[in-house]
Amino acid sequence: KQEVTQIPAALSVPEGENLVLNCSFTDSAIYNLQWFRQDPGKGLTSLLLIQSSQREQTSGRLNASLDKSSGRSTLYIAASQPGDSATYLCAVKSGATNKLIFGTGTLLAVQP
């Protein structure tokens, strides 16, 4: 059974810092991995999608990497801003199913 873990559960950094969020999964047979952002009480916004054949994806100040063999993904945020404050969720899609398995998220606070 696929399980997804995100560490740390919460993170507070001063504005301008570069930071890394971690996601690990127990079954390496994944189809893709997706990083989302969720603002308080709101829905999810897709940030980056990495296919199983890819090693990383970049969008602006965000860079996500994937190491399937070790069951890990990282989300790197460069030059953090207060507007980056949110909960970041990772989710994996295993094999040919359409089911996303989510982690519990990392709550990020960027202090001005």
Partner 1 sequence: ETGVTQTPRHLVMGMTNKKSLKCEQHLGHNAMYWYKQSAKKPLELMFVYSLEERVENNSVPSRFSPECPNSSHLFLHLHTLQPEDSALYLCASSQKVAGLAGTYNEQFFGPGTRLTVL
Q: What residues line the site for partner 1 (CB under 8 A)?
A: 4, 31-32, 34, 36, 41-46, 49, 89, 91, 93, 96-105
For residues 59 and 80, give the distance between their C-alpha atoms in angstroms, rounded to a whole number.
Answer: 14
Question: Is the CB of 7 or the CB of 79 nearer to partner 1?
Answer: 7
Question: Is the CB of 75 or the CB of 89 nearer to partner 1?
Answer: 89
Contact 103, 74 (CB under 8 A): no
Token representation of residue 7: 């560490």
Nearest to 36 by CA among 27, 20, 28, 47: 47
Question: Is the CB of 36 or the CB of 110 nearer to partner 1?
Answer: 36
Name the minimum Å distance from CB 32 to partner 1: 8
Name the minimum Å distance from CB 14 to partner 1: 27
- The dihedral formed by the CA atoms of 67, 9, 44 and 22, expressed in degrees to the nearest 10: -10
Name the minimum Å distance from CB 36 to partner 1: 8
